[in-house]
Amino acid sequence: MSDVFDIIRFNDQGLVTAIAQQHDTGEVLMLAWMNREAIEETLATGRVCYFSRSRNGLWRKGETSGQVQTLIELRVDCDGDALLVLVDQPGVACHTGRRSCFYRAMGKDGTVTTLTEPLIDPHTLYGS
Amino acid sequence: MSDVFDIIRFNDQGLVTAIAQQHDTGEVLMLAWMNREAIEETLATGRVCYFSRSRNGLWRKGETSGQVQTLIELRVDCDGDALLVLVDQPGVACHTGRRSCFYRAMGKDGTVTTLTEPLIDPHTLYGS
């Protein structure tokens, strides 16, 4: 068996992409980024922690919104530059109050259609 | 309805991350990148085309390996910097001959375990 950090290839900002997928339904919930510290914390605590590029710091998912993700399994891809985070996500993953961030579909003509509406008012998630 | 290219936020290399998911089983197959041209070609032809960062050009999935992906639906996330490509992928997505690129799991102790073995010999996919 190899060590995780021998395999993961971080980009020049020290980050790797991380796809969050609901472990039982297969829903792809969101795409975010992790640095080494976020991976270590996620593995150690079993609560998923990302790296926020906009806030330039660790982002413990659910810290503000309450929509915590519990780690089921962390996987790494063939060339080590992407992670698949199998999670248990009750409630919603998206800051818009939707279950998944991928709620818009593109038509062949380039138009965009909204597939789902928010389950929770975003003001409830983050305060008004 | 909005236009796709009003919503997508490409990075400074003109790229956006794209997650390929098998539309019916929910398997996350791979993570790749697309530029504007790859998105346009994918929508126009219904065959998934990525942008290869290593080859610095369009990557028509399956062109060499035969493992073509047919587009079912292209989705975009809340902040426009990630795509979810629902595909029909017969055979394998990974260049190692495995169904999915995410075939390794990380333990809490940092060790890595291989979950699946190749279904197709990679030499068969790409010639020896």
| Host domain of residue A63 | 16-91
Does A118 map to a domain? Answer: no
* Residues B73 and A105: beta-carbon distance below 8 Å: yes
pTM here is 0.95
Residue-level pLDDT at A128: 58
Count the residues in chain A. Answer: 128
Does B21 map to a domain? Answer: yes
Does A6 map to a domain? Answer: no
- Which value does ipTM take for this structure? 0.95
**CB spacing of B84 vs A102 below 8 angstroms:** yes
Does A103 map to a domain? Answer: no
Instruction: Please count the structural domains in chain A.
Output: 1
Q: What is the CATH number of the domain that holds A54?
A: 3.10.20.810
Does B5 map to a domain? Answer: no
Give the mean model confidence (pLDDT) for residues B114-120. 96
Does A125 map to a domain? Answer: no
* d(C-alpha B104, C-alpha B113), whole Å: 5
Residue-level pLDDT at B127: 77
pLDDT band at B103 (very low <50, low <70, confident <90, very high): very high
Does A110 map to a domain? Answer: no
Residues on A contacting B at a C-beta cutoff of 8 Å: 1-5, 7, 17, 19, 21, 25-28, 30-31, 43-44, 73-79, 82, 84, 94-96, 98, 101-108, 110-113, 115
Lookup: tokens for B109 = 């102790």
Residue-level pLDDT at B128: 57
Does A115 map to a domain? Answer: no
Question: Lowest mean pLDDT: which of A22-31, A78-87, B17-26, B117-126?
Answer: B117-126
pLDDT band at B96 (very low <50, low <70, confident <90, very high): very high
